[in-house]
Amino acid sequence: MRRSHWPHRENFPKAMVALIAVGLALVLLYNTTAANDDTPKPQVVKTQPMSPWEFKRRLVGPITVIATPFDAGRNVDDDGVRNMVDRARRYGSQVFALTAGDSRYNTLTDDEIYKLTETLVRAANGKALTIAAANLWSKQQVIDYALHAERLGASAVQVLLPKNMDEADQVEYYRDIANSTKLGIVLHGNFSESLLHKLVQIDSIVALKEDVGLKYAIDRQIVFGNRLAIFPGGSEARFLVGYPYGAQAYYSVFYQFAPELGLKFWKLIQAGKVKQAGEFVKKYDHPYMQGWTQGRWHASLEYFGVAPRYLRPPDKTFGPEEMAYLKKMFDAMGLKPEPRTQR
């Protein structure tokens, strides 16, 4: 008969007492060691989307809009995006944005737009605001994209004004999107005053990208500036139009490739030196924007070592003669390139 390893019946109580004693000793030893252990314990951090009103409060200063870079094979250059963000952040940029126009959505696939959004948010790494931007999609596609941006950790989502809808349907369109995401919503398009009065009843609509015209910018800033953070697209010069009426943020044309120049303008604004800011526009902004094209903007990225100059059709990539002209322009401004960031 096989011998049992269990204690004999009469010795069983003594064995159980011994086992319990050993267990208590081990628990005491563990607790004592843990109490004296200074090793930091990993923290479980639960991140929540930034509230729309917190986003609106922090939407101040130059916005670095991502001019989607492409490599020589016309593939989206993720390193170029990261270089743009890294360099702009070194010079104080606190807001980064995608937008259907300047980010060249007309030349990107939907998958590339999703990936570009991820690249931007990851590059900012929670250290700056990021505005994701939907394309002119169906309502369900916009909702899907907004949820994607929310999961990534974007700060807000920019939504284009839908076409071929009456005012009531447009309001319903934005209300349904707002009810589907916790992100703040940035309006983009030519909104009538009547429509805006209805849309501002939706709490999470907190900002408006303005790129219609100077009179439109002034009118909307005066009427809606307290309710919406209205920021102009275009250049530093356009900001000077809205600034006296309360505008606090703006697209910078320089922060993508020469952020030290963009910072110079913003410091003048912060110091209340509006006249000197106007002189800045005369010297830098105005000559650069004369004859401005996507080709010039992307060529500037290459000249300053941020990303290649290549573009997808229908945009035209600068050739050698145009690059030489660009160099003369920057030499006249006293601007010199710095080496491209190595990764």
Task: Give pTM, 2 decimals.
Answer: 0.84
- Distance between CA atoms of residues 298 and 301, nearest Å: 5
* pLDDT tens-place string over residues 37-81: 443 333 333 368 899 999 999 999 999 999 999 999 999 999 999
At 234 the pLDDT is: 80
* pLDDT tens-place string over residues 170-201: 999 999 999 999 999 999 999 999 999 999 99
Q: Give yes or no for residue 5 having a pLDDT over 60.
A: no
pLDDT-derived band at 29 (thresholds 50, 70, 90) equals very low
- Distance between CA atoms of residues 83 and 137, nearest Å: 29
Average pLDDT for residues 300-316, to the nearest whole number?
97
* Cα dihedral 151→156→160→162 (10° resolution): 60
Q: CA quadruple 89, 120, 126, 57: dihedral positive or negative?
A: positive
At 146 the pLDDT is: 98
Q: Give yes or no for residue 20 having a pLDDT over 50.
A: no
pLDDT-derived band at 1 (thresholds 50, 70, 90) equals very low
Query: What whole-number percentage of the chain has pLDDT above 90?
Result: 82
At 106 the pLDDT is: 97
At 339 the pLDDT is: 57
Map out the domains of the chain with their CATH numbers: 52-263 (3.20.20.70)
More confident site: 316 or 3: 316
Count Cβ neighbours within 10 Å for each residue of 120-144 and write b for 16 or more, e otherwise: bbbbbeeebbbbbbbbbbebeebbb
Q: Give yes or no for residue 34 having a pLDDT over 50.
A: no
Average pLDDT for residues 237-263, to the nearest whole number?
95
At 13 the pLDDT is: 46
Average pLDDT for residues 258-274, to the nearest whole number?
96
Average pLDDT for residues 307-334, to the nearest whole number?
96
Instruction: For tokens 């003369």, name the residue.
Output: 328
Average pLDDT for residues 328-335, to the nearest whole number?
94
* pLDDT tens-place string over residues 127-172: 999 999 999 999 999 999 999 999 999 999 999 999 999 999 999 9
